[in-house]
Amino acid sequence: MNNDTLQGQWKQLRGNIKTAFGKLTDDDLLQADGNADKMQGALQERYGYTKEQAQTEWNKFTQSHTDQEENAKADLNAAAANIAAATAHVKDAAKR
């Protein structure tokens, strides 16, 4: 998940971030405001991670949410295809 995507989805992700990283405060999230570097700094401070550990944990979190987003898109595309097929079938049946 790149920084632009993170910033765009920040409000939606805040709850997930707090669930995944319970030691982070609302103030930490406000200060980070969608900035990955600031989030990693907050993880270092709250969890005592090294810079590399914070980056690894943050990358795991964002990758899992990227995967969830991709799965949701695939599900939506499949549902749209099913609707299109059903619509075509109904139109075909109406012509007969």
Question: Over 80: is that where the pLDDT of 5 sits?
Answer: no
What's this model's pTM, rounded to 2 decimal places? 0.61
Question: Over 90: is that where the pLDDT of 11 sits?
Answer: no
Q: Which of 19, 20, 56, 50 is nearest to 36 (CA)?
A: 56
Per this entry, what is the length of the chain?
96
pLDDT of residue 41: 94
Output 70-79 pairs: Cβ under 8 A, ≥24 positions apart: none
CATH number of 3-95: 1.10.1470.10
In angstroms, the Cα distances linking 66 to 13, 73, 81 are 11, 11, 23
Report the C-alpha gap between 47 and 96 in whole angstroms. Answer: 68
